[in-house]
């Protein structure tokens, strides 16, 4: 009979941390970065007067060095906020922007800077080679556009597209039918608001299949609540209107993030059986079993399903509540998303504990992955790094939970780029976002692409779909 070991975990206290298991040890190795690397990065960044925006899921070594640098123009967040912070950095004096993420994130930063009137500010990626994304690539496939062409035949159609897609996809989608971008933080309110403002709407969500499935489960679950509870989620809805939501909501059937795909039934079963006392976090992109586990925990006040930002906020609130109880307590938190969040989570937990001077509370951050999900480096000082090499470490006991595309944003890659920033333009051309040109129906592709993002920004500001988009839904054929 095989021995099933506990998932690896990282115990975080006010002033330190302790790793349990090889995977956690590999993560913890980067939380206290080499002082020379920190000094080198800060010096190069200051010399170049560069702004650095990075995604939560990037390389942990690089994230640790950035966190320790104290450099004024550094921000780590989800994909949407990266572009907003880039604009803030330029307004505060940054002369160029480096994007640490996948290519659609660099595209988005470039487009948002252009829209804010900063077209002269250079934007760079950390690698010469393309940095892809399985989810974004799914949305550029012929199958996705065939699905959208089918959707465009129906009246009152609205395409809600996940922000984690290319400008090319957004442009061609919006040319087919009215399109609005969303994030994992606002997708629920976006969908419910669309049905509130256009009750007969036929809403097509893509490309993330797991998120689409999870939204349907969430709306079905809401429909079982009483009307007062439903209105706490969205004041325009009740049990009768949710039936229209379920009837009019469709999602693309074949689009997945390769990282969140790894949180399958076996992972969820082990979490439910072995970590019944834990707080559960689950990203909206994880498969159904893990999502349902997180949703059940959320209903009981012991979990959260949502975006990376939602997960950070939930953990912070849980630590504050435990500190207020004033008792010796260990919170166990299962991390149901990419493990690149560990640096931000450690900083969040320690910040909360230090704010109240608490030594009574610590947090055990549980990684629901195979303990072997590390790769050997051959380096005596750092023998292991997170993530598989050639499939090493992946098993039904848990996914590898690390994005190989994001990890192309390494510390060496960033330092090499920063050293080149004062070089000639031809040398740097390979590091700039490759913005696709052209027109659709005589209108520049970039205009088609940025309209869905502008609609989302208006929704975020006003809490309702903009009149221009509603009119487009009602009149477009």
- Check if CATH label 3.40.50.10800 holds for domain 35-132+410-431: yes
Q: Where are the domains of the chain?
A: 35-132+410-431, 135-256+437-475
204 closest CA partner among 188, 191, 214: 191
Contact 421, 428 (CB under 8 A): yes
Alpha carbon distance 294, 301 (integer Å): 10
Helix (H) or strand (E) holding 281: strand 279-283
Contact 42, 75 (CB under 8 A): no
23 closest CA partner among 372, 353, 314, 361: 372
DSSP code, position 163: S
Query: How many Cα atoms occupy the beta-carbon half-sphere of 238 within 13 Å?
Result: 4
pTM across the whole model: 0.76
323: left (phi over 0), alpha (psi -120 to 50) or beta: alpha
Say whether 363 sits in a helix, a strand or coil.
Answer: strand
Say whether 292 sits in a helix, a strand or coil.
Answer: helix
Q: Where are the beta strands (DSSP E) in 337-465?
A: 361-366, 374-376, 384-386, 439-440, 443-444
Alpha carbon distance 124, 419 (integer Å): 13
Alpha carbon distance 95, 89 (integer Å): 9
Alpha carbon distance 399, 385 (integer Å): 15
Q: Give pLDDT tens digits along the chain (477 positions).
A: 344 568 889 999 999 999 988 778 877 887 888 999 999 999 999 999 999 999 877 777 888 899 899 999 999 887 778 999 999 999 999 999 999 988 888 888 998 899 899 999 999 998 887 776 666 777 777 899 999 999 999 999 999 998 888 888 999 999 999 999 998 888 999 999 999 999 999 999 988 888 888 889 889 988 988 999 899 889 999 999 999 999 999 998 876 654 444 445 677 788 888 999 999 998 776 666 777 888 889 888 999 988 888 899 999 999 999 999 989 999 999 988 767 788 889 989 999 999 999 899 999 999 887 544 444 444 444 444 444 333 333 333 333 445 566 666 788 889 999 999 987 778 898 889 887 788 999 999 999 999 999 999 899 999 999 999 999 999 986
Tell me how many degrees the CA angle 412-415-420 measures, rounded to the nearest 5.
125
Centroid of chain to Cα 308: 6
When computed from its CA atoms, the radius of gyration of the chain, rounded to whole angstroms, is 22
């Amino acid at each position: 009979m095989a021995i099933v070991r506990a998932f690896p975990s990282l115990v975080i206290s006010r002033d330190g941390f302790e790793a349990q298991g090889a995977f956690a040890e590999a993560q913890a190795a980067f939380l206290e970065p080499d002082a020379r690397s920190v000094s080198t990065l800060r010096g190069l960044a200051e010399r170049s007067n560069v702004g650095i925006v990075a995604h939560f899921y990037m390389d942990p070594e690089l994230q640790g060095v950035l966190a320790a640098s104290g450099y004024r123009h550094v921000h780590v967040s989800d994909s949407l906020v990266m572009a907003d912070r880039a604009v803030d950095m330029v307004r505060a004096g940054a002369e160029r922007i480096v994007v640490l993420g996948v290519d659609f994130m660099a595209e988005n930063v470039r487009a948002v800077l252009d829209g804010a009137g900063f077209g002269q500010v250079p934007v760079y990626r950390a690698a010469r080679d393309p940095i892809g994304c399985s989810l974004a690539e799914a949305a550029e496939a012929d199958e996705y556009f065939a699905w959208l062409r089918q959707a465009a035949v129906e009246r009152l159609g609205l395409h809600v597209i996940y922000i984690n897609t290319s400008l090319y996809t957004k442009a061609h989608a919006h040319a087919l039918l009215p399109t609005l971008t969303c994030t994992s933080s606002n997708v629920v309110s976006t969908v419910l608001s669309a049905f509130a403002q256009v009750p007969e709407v036929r809403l097509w969500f893509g490309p993330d299949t797991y998120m689409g499935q999870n939204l349907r489960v969430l709306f079905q679950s809401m429909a079982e609540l009483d009307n007062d509870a439903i209105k706490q989620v969205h004041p325009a809805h009740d049990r009768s209107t949710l039936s229209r939501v379920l009837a009019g909501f469709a999602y693309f059937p074949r689009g997945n993030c390769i990282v969140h795909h790894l949180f399958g039934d076996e992972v969820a079963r082990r979490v439910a059986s072995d970590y019944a006392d834990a707080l559960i976090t689950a990203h909206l992109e994880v498969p159904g079993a893990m999502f349902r586990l997180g949703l059940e925990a959320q209903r009981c006040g012991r979990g959260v399903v949502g975006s990376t930002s939602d997960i950070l906020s939930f953990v912070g609130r849980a630590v504050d509540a435990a500190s207020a109880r004033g008792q010796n307590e260990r919170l166990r938190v299962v991390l149901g998303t990419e493990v690149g969040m560990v640096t931000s989570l450690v900083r969040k937990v320690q910040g909360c504990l230090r704010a109240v001077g608490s030594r009574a509370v610590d947090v055990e951050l549980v990684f629901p992955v195979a303990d072997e999900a590390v790769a050997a480096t051959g380096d005596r000082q750092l023998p292991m790094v997170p993530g598989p090499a050639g499939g090493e470490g992946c098993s039904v006991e848990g996914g590898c939970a690390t994005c190989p595309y994001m990890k192309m944003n390494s510390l060496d890659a960033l330092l090499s780029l920063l050293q080149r920033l004062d070089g000639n333009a031809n040398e740097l051309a390979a590091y700039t976002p490759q913005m696709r040109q052209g027109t659709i129906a005589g209108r520049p592709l970039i205009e088609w692409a940025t309209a869905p993002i502008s609609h989302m920004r208006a929704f975020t500001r006003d809490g309702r779909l903009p009149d221009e988009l509603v009119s487009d839904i009602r009149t477009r054929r």
